[in-house]
Structure 1
Amino acid sequence: MPRYKLPLGATAISLLLASCGGEAEPKPADTLPAIENIADDAAPGKTRLASTIAPFFEDPALEETRAIVIMHGGRVVAERYAPGYGPDSRLISWSMAKSVTATLIGMMVADGLLVLDDPAPVPEWSSPGDPRAKITLRQLLHMSSGLDHTEMAEGDKAIYEADTTRLLFLDGRENVARYAEKRNLEAEPGRHFEYSTATSHILADIMTRTLTDSSDPVVRRNAMLEYARGRLFEPLGMTSAVPEFDRSGTMLGGSMIHATARDWAKFGEFLRNNGSVRSAQLLPTSWTRFMKMSSANDPAYGGHLWLNKRRPEGRDQVLFPGKAPSDVFAALGHLGQFVVVSPQHRLTIVRLGKTQDDQLDPINDQIAKLIAIFPKS
């Protein structure tokens, strides 16, 4: 069965085309050997844990896995890297960046800079009578803005006609937010779910304009970067995290943040601990509850997080409902980027690699098996 296609993110149109079925991008030189470290006292047992991780790297149906990091009870109990990759390798988020964007939005709400159910402060929508003026932050975070965004090319459309391709690589790339914000409504806000990378770029633009009135790209970039580093990356110890920006200074918060697998695991742990790190509550627990709560139009999608619940009929399933607890949640990205959290198991699993989106079922199944070998708290 075809899988739901997660959105794109890359640094060149050649990578985009490669990810859609052409030749794969070149691998890094294999200067690093394969690395595997598993704790002797890992709860499932070292041998069992190693054998459950092995298929990610050794079973052709699950390749190409580049990194696995597992944190249990707040500590790393296992990590493994393919040749050419290691603990210091920064790997792209693709759409896992959306969950980072939602977390930063929550911090701005907590700071009193934004309000979840107020109309989103977008100047493009402020003309009298503009129906887009009713769109709220909640609706943007739930992917239910009603804006006419086409995430992926479908049917007879070519890949370059999809909005995600256009805003990242073609006519929208200079100013992704302007491209996304100029689209008209195709549905009443709040009534229809449509996954959209463009929506997350609108949220990134809202954050940036909240931080600075300047239109200077350098000022905009620095304001957003300083906030992201000071409020999230540095307190979590995500020292490798590097967001990308367009030429207008808008963070590409829907697709492009680079970080090591260990740092992605720290982000998952932060959400597992309901916004706290080392006993410091950086994000209100009410916000993490919002992120993990099903949206009105898709039970499997919360506030820019995927949930382990069945989707409505006609929509491809995501994650593994029925094979792991329903409170499992995940930040997911194109080509098989996973930060999966199981609160009941006190577990965060990071899998990074390059697997076509219609071939992710074996990886989902193996992640479910990996969760199952850990004890529930």
Structure 2
Amino acid sequence: MPTTTTEAYIARPPSSSLNLEPVTYPDLAPHELLVDILAASVCHSDVRAAQGTFHMKPPLILGHEGAGYVREIGSAVTYVKPGDAVVLAFASCGECRRCETGREPYCERLVELNFSGRRGDGTQPVRDARGEGVNGLFFGQSSMSRVALVRERSCVKLEGEVGREELRKFASLGCGVQTGAGAILNIAKPPPGSHIAIFGAGAVGLPALMAARPSQPASLVLIDNSATKLSMIPQTLLTNVHTLDSASLSPDELVAKLKSFTPDSRGMDFALDCVGHEAVTQAAYWCLDKLGTVLTVGGSATATPRVSTQRNLVCGLTIRGTHQGDSVPRVMIPELIRRWREGRFPFELLLTEFKFEELGQAMEEMAAGRVIKPLLVV
């Protein structure tokens, strides 16, 4: 197969400038393929990667939530064929002790396959217009490209008839949406009558909210410190949901307010920190009832929340982290699409479309809190 030249968004140091630049992919490795991208959504991890504060460092091609049609496949690819509609998610090896037991988010080779920017032989598979190497395969895909170079294990093949407009929307399912929803569906699994607090009214917290609503919770509370973000949420998502602006509340006041939504102020059964801020994790912990669970869904390298081992012991509390909501993409993404088709998971309400050439504007709108989930349409 000949080399392929296309355009992709490259983040470069030191200013973290983002430009749509020509890039060239060499011959495909055995387990790689090319995907004609229809759409790629923007996640906060893309922003952090562009700033050089994520696992993979610039220069790199951004994008880890994409969808499109398979163009070409490597010699050992068996899962898809040219023309297949695919949604792209993180990569895993499929062979280690974690993958073999359905724990793909904890793959032994996760860092190498998603954040090294290189092939297994250590080479960079992408060249810019000057012929210099650029990190690619971000989350196994680097999907902010008109044609993306993708690891086979990053693909979720969609069966049956899928329209182009639908497939564009599905681009947003590959990371943040499946993370939030998975935290509820795969881990919390709240029984009817549960009391649930979700911290963070963004592209992770709102999918968690959507997944939690059908479980018929006794109380479901969405917390954010931005009144603007709370006001942006479509009202159809807030039926039987309490919203709480925490901006003016002290930590003790926030915990007391959350407990007040439960009988006798006993506390929450489940509290999801979809932000990753130290104070948020602590509030999630201290608002729990006995046998309650904190799920840390967002993350920060510097957060060290204060917890009490004595309280853990006496109250039987669980503190549980999760990567990707413990989701296996080839299971979770079709499940979310099925729920969406049934009208039970209206994730499209979170999306705002931008032209592919408008990444800068999309990032500005997201940073300003004026959109929840930008979608770049090619």
- Same fold? TM cut 0.5: no
Q: Which structure is larger by alpha-carbon Rg, 1 or 2?
A: 2
Structure with greater strand share of residues: 2
Calculate the TM-score normalised by the size of structure 1.
Answer: 0.30
TM-score by length of 2: 0.30
